[in-house]
Structure 1
Amino acid sequence: MNLKAMLTLTAATAVFATASLAEGTHPVTGEKLSDNQTFTYRLLDQFPTLDPQLNEETAGSHVIRDLFEGLMIQDADGNLIPGMAESYEASNGNKTYTFHLRDAKWSNGDPVTAQDFVYAWQRAADPATASPYAWYVELTSMVNAKEIVAGEMDKSELGVKALDDKTLEVQLTQPLPYFPAMTTYATLSPVHQATVEKFGAKWTDPENMVNNGAYNLTAMVLNEYHTREKNPMYWNADNVIIEKTTGLIINSETQALTRYKAGEFDHLEPLPAGQFPALQEELPDEAHSVPRLCSYYYAFNLRPDAKPEIQDPRVRRALTLAIDRDVIVNQVLKGGQWPAYNFSHVKTAGFEMPEIDFANMTQAERDAEAKRLMEESGVKDLDLKLIYNTSESHKQIATIVSQMWKQKLGVSTTLENMEWKTYLDVRRDGHFDLARSAWCADYNEASTFLDLLTTTHGSNDGKFSNAEYDALMLASKTSDNPNEMYTKAEQIISDESAIAPIYHYANTFLLSADIKGWPYNNAENNWYSKDLYRIAE
């Protein structure tokens, strides 16, 4: 179904939907709705920010999707559907996009305008904002984005402008057919300029925030919980069923599981490592495992002043080979994850998995090659520091991997765990030899993974740099067959041991059986509280 047809269908069913809700039944399924329309879920860590332009991680993204709505959003299958934009057209060979905004309001009653997007996007690119995701604006190929991020041009020169209050025009330097999909990510959400400028860093506090999403932030207690409640100003508020969403921060996965079973909340993710099979048997209507577009890996610190032994690709290759991924996936995690020998997730749309040589070896063959390479390098008595954020499963994996390195290669590893914000800062500043890392797709296309390892990428915390790799990723932007470049890029990652890939995610979670509307088929795990509902028992 095309975008305009979808909009017509949405308009035609709006009256019926509202009437059904008033009668206490779901407008599509006819299910009887519970009088208790709340949803409570567990977070592992406190998100560092709810500022869309400063966010860089997944927990904050889940909240921001409820509070701020971008031009496009996603349905339960991950397909693009209208958000603030009722429709759009691509022209000039996919280098010009024109978005037509719907009539919508900010939570204070102000109209949402095209200028709100211009302000937000310029703000994201502006070096003065110091956005950790400024690279994302550059990645969109908007005209002058690269120069603005580099501080060489004024933010006002960014290739986006408001033709009028409801029309936004975007100019790209090269064809990018998936640009509309990129607008679903937090960085390109609009923000309310007057509020940002009035309150500065405190504009995201519950008492100050002005937002345009389906929910308003109503409470925030750091490292404990936050609440977001239905926004009556949201353009489609009449069809939003969940009235209140609460996020509870519980660092211990074991404690979280106990509290879930006690009925304290409705959604638990991730599950404690290795417990999915037992939970699936115990709670068959509540335990789920679905693909998730995230890849788990260890980043090597390749800065010039980092540990010299790590600069030797033979040492990195040996460490990578010695990790027995089958043990981690099948004996530790047990949740349907895939052993990873490359970076891009195995379920990435349209991605052609390359032939990585060590993927086809037995573990015994990998171990033998790892020992040979380590001996060839001449490195002995290697002692590494591996950092990870506080999580029982991260600790388990790090402990097992460090034992593998010790037993097979004689490498000693010091493990250091940190709370989330500290870990992000330490990783960004390069105070590590190896860092537990994961990358989750910002959109469903292989470049979202592979761009990460380009030299100038803002989240390339290991600082891998390879001119041929950079050239391939640049060429992929204008290629009719980018998979050819992606395959070569993956080969360079493997040949250089740029990272140590460990596994491709499956999303294992528990969800209360009376919560419906969960997007099981959205491989990016992008869920919106507005699409959920609780049925009557």
Structure 2
Amino acid sequence: MFFASSVSSSVLPARRSSTLLAACLFSAAILPSLASAAIIPPGTQLAAKQELVRNNGSEVETLDPNVAESVPANNVTRDLFEGLTAVRSDGETVPGVAEKWEMKDSTTWIFHLRKNAKWSNGETVTAGDFVFSAQRLVDPKTASPYANTYGMFLLNGTEIVAGKKPVASLGVTAIDANTLQIRTPYPVPFLPDLMTNTNFGPINKAAMEKNGKDWTKPGKLVSNGAFMLKDWQVNNRLVLAKNPNYWNAGYVQLNQVTYLPIEDENTDVKQYESGGNDWVYQLPSGTFARYKQEYPNEMRAAPMLGLRYYSFNNKDPLLKDVRVRKALSMVIDRDILAQRVTADGQIPAYGVIVKGVKGADVNAYDWASWPMAKRVEEAKKLLAEAGVKPGTKLQFAMNTSEYHKKMAIFAASEWKSKLGLDTDIQAMEFKVLLKKRHDGDYQIARNGWVADYNDASTFLTLVQCGSEQNDNQACNPKADALMREASNSTDPATRLKLQTEAGKVAMEDYPMLPLLQYTLVRLVKSYVGGYSTKNPMDHYRSEDLYIIKH
């Protein structure tokens, strides 16, 4: 998932012992206690006014769950739409609309829907609503940026996206109004985790067809999550109100949630300090120590399964030469970047796989341990061999953000001082950057990825041939073959080895420039209850949160 100013998702399947896994998942799914929202410690006094204001980092590009791709958009759709499963604030997968599920065989899952699941208009949520949404997700007419990324996990999904099979052939069917069957082309043991993503959530077909392109606007959007859309003032605020028809409404404490689209981190903090914001999206770079001292009880810092990187347009006349891409990557001192520029506990990254992710080992370039002088010497040789002369200009695209501006200025200074290259930095709105990356209308662009589930395949999608999330316009057939081989393996050790090798082989082409593993640092008011730092994907549902008396 693409991160905004400080973002979702993955494609490659995984396999392991299905019998044991199915038993474990089934037993976890049938515990109703896991589904309860807003777990409030005994003795906690709640505030009379249960309203939360949080910054979201940027304006959302859409509220259509099938096509939402950025972290900001998914933060909101996670409140509006509930999928078969969901993620609690502590990162655990819990039942959503589905109260339980089981694996019928290695490629067939049965999800049993709650009979009291309702839409915000009072209508009952049915299995057919999930079928409609899944088919719409992979329908080429929808042009979802997640069509192939997620469609690959559904039987016939890839073929439908390619226009080779009809949408009706998708392996998602309603057995009856409360029973959904999902068939996969290979065993996907993490399917319940995958279903937490609202790209798979239900859509009210009648409301969408009635309102046409305006179906996601206030007064027209029919949602099934804990909240419904109250107001949306573009580039100002987006307001959600508690959904009285939500099946678990009795446990939802917040009556209103306001999302602010502030991209400038300093403005974000000022709003926070003035009382206009309860939740900072991300602190400005280099301010962690200061704010930790000023607000020790409000500092929230936690490592994430996320990667900060720069995309190289591998089809660009200058960057199509791997020697140029390698040289640009070699001279970036990631230790200085982490310790002095961002200065918020992030970890230097030299590959596409981050620490803590399952299904692959972290690997790095051999030169990562070289002295910088040796790296610069080698990089200069590579540029000379490629015919690139000092004074050559690079074009760098980023979204408006002081945080990313500082990172970009640092990278530009590294390329200038060590290689003699000039960089033209261009800032734009996040949604404009998204389009430029997808269209290949850039040379070098800021990028970021946060896992949608804990498996290495979520990161390998960034370098997979033909993936919508591969903005680098790159393809390594050998790496792709290893990914496919991993998907067909039922042995966890073999799969881990293959995905590790796939990541290494793909990165030998230098399709992208990995920089840092995310550590998300923000300020959250001490009276915001339910916030957990044990959430490596930064997925928070507002229904898990509450305001403590203060």
Give the TM-score category using the shorter length: over 0.9
Unaligned stretches of 5+ residues in structure 2 = 1-23
Q: 1:29 to 1:352 in 2, by over 3 A?
A: farther
- What's the counterpart of residue 58 of structure 1? 71
Larger mean CA deviation between 374-383 and 462-471 belongs to 374-383
- What's the counterpart of residue 9 of structure 2? none
Letter in 1 for 2:533: Y
Quick check: 1:113 aligned with 2:136? no
Quick check: 1:195 aligned with 2:211? no
The number of residues matched between the two structures is 522
Quick check: 1:124 aligned with 2:124? no
- What's the counterpart of residue 516 of structure 2? 503
- The residue matched to 1:129 in structure 2 has which SS? coil
Q: 1:6 to 1:425 in 2, by over 3 A?
A: closer
Contact 1:268 1:511 in 2 (8 A): yes
- What's the counterpart of residue 185 of structure 1? 197
- The residue matched to 1:81 in structure 2 has which SS? strand
Which of 474, 487, 491 aligns to 2:484? It is 474
- What's the counterpart of residue 348 of structure 2? 339
Q: 1:484 to 1:5 in 2, by over 3 A?
A: closer
- What's the counterpart of residue 360 of structure 1? 369
CA distance in 2, matches of 1:515, 1:442: 25
- Deviation digits for residues 255-310 of structure 1, max 9, x if unmatched? 1111111111110011101101110011000112101221111111112xx22x31
Unaligned stretches of 5+ residues in structure 1 = none
- What's the counterpart of residue 394 of structure 1? 404
Larger mean CA deviation between 117-126 and 345-354 belongs to 345-354
Quick check: 1:529 aligned with 2:529? no
Q: 1:7 to 1:97 in 2, by over 3 A?
A: closer
Quick check: 1:384 aligned with 2:394? yes
Quick check: 1:273 aligned with 2:282? no
Letter in 1 for 2:497: E
- The residue matched to 2:508 in structure 1 has which SS? helix
Deviation of 1:124 after TM superposition, in Å, equals 0.5
- What's the counterpart of residue 428 of structure 1? 438
Q: Quote the sequence identity (%).
A: 37
- What's the counterpart of residue 440 of structure 1? 450
Contact 2:235 2:261 in 1 (8 A): yes
- Deviation digits for residues 29-75 of structure 1, max 9, x if unmatched? 33111112111001221101000011111001000110000001112
Contact 1:229 1:244 in 2 (8 A): yes
Deviation of 1:376 after TM superposition, in Å, equals 2.7
Give TM-score scaled by structure 1 length. Answer: 0.94
Quick check: 1:240 aligned with 2:248? no
- Deviation digits for residues 131-186 of structure 1, max 9, x if unmatched? 1211233231x111111101111111101100000110011111111111111112
- What's the counterpart of residue 79 of structure 1? 92
- What's the counterpart of residue 310 of structure 2? 298
Which of 179, 184, 192 aligns to 1:172? It is 184
CA distance in 2, matches of 1:9, 1:220: 34
Give TM-score scaled by structure 2 length. Answer: 0.92
CA distance in 2, matches of 1:394, 1:489: 29
Quick check: 1:222 aligned with 2:234? yes
Letter in 2 for 1:493: A
Deviation of 1:505 after TM superposition, in Å, equals 0.4
- What's the counterpart of residue 530 of structure 2? 517
Letter in 1 for 2:523: L
- Deviation digits for residues 428-447 of structure 1, max 9, x if unmatched? 11121111111111111110
Quick check: 1:10 aligned with 2:22? no
- Deviation digits for residues 61-119 of structure 1, max 9, x if unmatched? 000110000001112332211001111111322x1111000121111111111000000
Letter in 2 for 1:360: S
Contact 1:70 1:186 in 2 (8 A): yes
- The residue matched to 1:316 in structure 2 has which SS? helix
Quick check: 1:208 aligned with 2:217? no
Contact 1:493 1:499 in 2 (8 A): no
Contact 2:32 2:99 in 1 (8 A): no
- What's the counterpart of residue 330 of structure 1? 339
Which of 317, 320, 323 aligns to 1:314? It is 323
Which of 331, 356, 379 aligns to 1:370? It is 379
Q: 1:384 to 1:255 in 2, by over 3 A?
A: same
- The residue matched to 1:372 in structure 2 has which SS? helix
Which of 449, 459, 466 aligns to 2:469? It is 459
Which of 357, 380, 395 aligns to 1:348? It is 357
Contact 1:519 1:525 in 2 (8 A): no
CA distance in 2, matches of 1:27, 1:487: 41
- What's the counterpart of residue 60 of structure 2? 47
Larger mean CA deviation between 172-181 and 479-488 belongs to 479-488
- What's the counterpart of residue 154 of structure 1? 166
- Deviation digits for residues 461-493 of structure 1, max 9, x if unmatched? 211111111111111212223221222122123
CA distance in 2, matches of 1:63, 1:120: 18
- What's the counterpart of residue 415 of structure 1? 425
Q: 1:295 to 1:109 in 2, by over 3 A?
A: same
Which of 32, 40, 50 aligns to 1:37? It is 50
CA distance in 2, matches of 1:230, 1:200: 25
Deviation of 1:244 after TM superposition, in Å, equals 0.7
CA distance in 2, matches of 1:164, 1:336: 50
Larger mean CA deviation between 60-69 and 41-50 belongs to 41-50
Deviation of 1:350 after TM superposition, in Å, equals 4.9
Letter in 1 for 2:121: N
Quick check: 1:257 aligned with 2:280? no
- Deviation digits for residues 310-345 of structure 1, max 9, x if unmatched? 111111100000111111110011111101101122
Deviation of 1:518 after TM superposition, in Å, equals 0.7
Larger mean CA deviation between 319-328 and 365-374 belongs to 365-374
- The residue matched to 1:298 in structure 2 has which SS? strand
- The residue matched to 1:388 in structure 2 has which SS? strand
- What's the counterpart of residue 20 of structure 2? none
Contact 1:274 1:335 in 2 (8 A): yes
Q: 1:409 to 1:85 in 2, by over 3 A?
A: same
Larger mean CA deviation between 376-385 and 123-132 belongs to 376-385
CA distance in 2, matches of 1:88, 1:290: 31
Q: 1:8 to 1:394 in 2, by over 3 A?
A: closer
